[in-house]
Structure 1
Amino acid sequence: MDAYPSFVRKEQCNFGWDWGIVLVTCGIWRSIRLVGYSQARIGAVQIDQKHKDGNVKVTALVELDVIAPRSVTLKATVLFKGKPVAETSATSKAATPRLEVAVPDPQLWWPNRMGAQPLYTLRIDLAAADGTLLDTYSRRLGLRTLRLDRHADEWGESFRFVVNGIPFFAKGANWIPADALLAQRSPEVYRRLLEDSADVNMNMIRVWGGGIYEDDAFYDLCDELGLCVWQDFMFACMAYPAHDPRFMENVKAEAIDNVRRLNHHACMALWCGNNELEQQGVGKAFRAGYNAMTWDEYKSLFDTLLAEVVRQHAPSIDYWPSSPHSPHGDREDFNNPDCGDAHLWEVWHGRKPFEWYRTCTHRFNSEF
């Protein structure tokens, strides 16, 4: 375990970081439950939105766990401020039925300081043929489009986020775990830190890849406060054993679970494959042995596996393979000022004066 922390799928900074202590904990630190059901239950729901000419349709692809194939009824209801505003229902024998609801007079969600953050609730009821309620799914969502815009321009290639058709300047910080002892975190701690972030005019938080996929309470608060989330997958600053099929199978399950869990949140702006693996020089800087990682292995994990999970389970959220990353050339120019994102350490690490930032022309500074 000391030799190969990259194989252990836990908080990477537990093994020590430049700002954190070595505290390699183990044990059950989140709630678990055993679910029993009869006939069928709602396993997962993929929520997408279609925006056109001021109208919004919410689409729910429902994945059912069934004991035996049989006809069931699904009813989808969209609520706003606790009151139903739209609903639809369908009877199906399919394992993944699709429901679509048109939302009248849609109130759009906006990042902090750009507008309000109205939140709707999508509730899906699953019933047996005789009307017996079998399961209920309920999630909050904000109605918006939020995409990464990369287009060729006179300097190279843009890197900006666009919400509801309007480009905006991302202002924010990187988020590391709020406590070295994860069990000491609480919704109150989340609220204090995230409200402070919104109060100083931030509109984006990057969940750094050496920590954890945060609790639901974190993303709920980001929805409420208008804090967009750049979400790293939990890989940072080291080679990973992508040559090992056991590791890849484990990572795929981890990625699917978290992408499914978070895909409905209004705050979710981007999934990013890792923190600084390209900057660290994969295939060159890492030592030989079990922890070595070739470029082909790197690509199999970050260009293929994780990208496909996002495309399949959260197609309305963009994917970026690494941070920092230049999408052109041989990837060695990871802080290319003309395209991609950059990690600029010249001030905090290089001791340059703060005014140096005025000379920076990089497209997107995701860590500085």
Structure 2
Amino acid sequence: MSDAATPADAPWPTVAQPRRRVRLDFQHHSEVDAVFDPVRQDLSALAVLGRSMWLACDETTTIEQLTRTGGSRWSDHRTINLHDAFDLHGDESDEIDIEGLAIDDGWLWITGSHGLTRKKPKWHENDPSVAMSRLTEVKSNVARRVIGRLPLVNLGDGMWSPSLVGTEDGRRPASVRLKKGKTPLTKSLAKDIHLGRFMDIPCKENGFDIEGIAARGDRVLLGLRGPVLRGWAVILELRMKLTKSGHLKPRRIGPDGERYRKYFLDLEGLGIRDLQADGDDLLILAGPTMDLDGPVALMRWPGAWTTRVQKQSIVPYEKLQRVIDLPYGYGTDHAEGIALTERSDGGREVMVVFDSPGAARLVDGTAIRADLFAYD
């Protein structure tokens, strides 16, 4: 919570209700030459441009593309395997744990969580020794440390397609270089006075965990679900450059030569679940850092893109705006991805997709309903 005292009679935030819902139609992955079915159960990221939508499932190495085919329907599902664009090392079946998608100036940006994972005891395992043994297993997956971008090709009529090999204007896919399980960013973070000790903690235990990305030019903002330090969430700013080898690499922009700058935001104890650029502002989907259900709120950081801070900075709660308190379920309906979409009358709405969807969201075996909330 904020340091300021909360009056005993302060009203509890009113949870917003969606203005309407849209249907997202996925095919079975077996029908689109992929391995995980159905993707709708584990949606983790969202980006929208015109009539094109991209989503990620945190159990795959792919992103999913849909096209708006009606006023409230997105379909024509195709799957894009990132192993065809990036050198991710490891086995092609290893999940990337994609947790952030963003669009800027003809590029689709992608980030993995970078987090470690701990085995979870399965509900049907009655032997306590087996359960305890699983809890000792911590895994590091190199592919989770990807940050990359794909060039988008304008197909006309509001439709776009990411290129996996390059475009006529010379733009090519690029990602950070993975070497011996590390990247320039993770090597720099390992020495960080605030974050270094969390790099070896599993992501769902307040360990290091990226769950949002936003971009503008060479500036990339990464939102951390964890760690949350004494109630303060973290955003990292990177300034990307393209190396001679064709890889992305963050420049040294920190006060002591770090490849990032840090911003600490008072989100009242919540971590960051997604980011969305909105003009000069930044929208932040805030939710629990641990494996909990809620609360969940959409926050705005005014002027985030115009305030070029040259050193570490903190952003108190009073400098942020609470836009919407979002609904959540108990064990279901965890808000994971946000995107701004345009209505036919020129107004805008916030689209939200959910992980662990409740039964009421699931339609016809492979489709799911996403929520649209009033914004403008």
Given the two structures, how large is their TM-score scaled by the length of structure 1?
A: 0.26
- The structure having more radius of gyration, on CA atoms, is 1
Give the number of the structure whose residues are more often helix, by fraction.
Answer: 1
**Larger RCO: 1 or 2 (CA < 8 Å, sep 6+):** 2
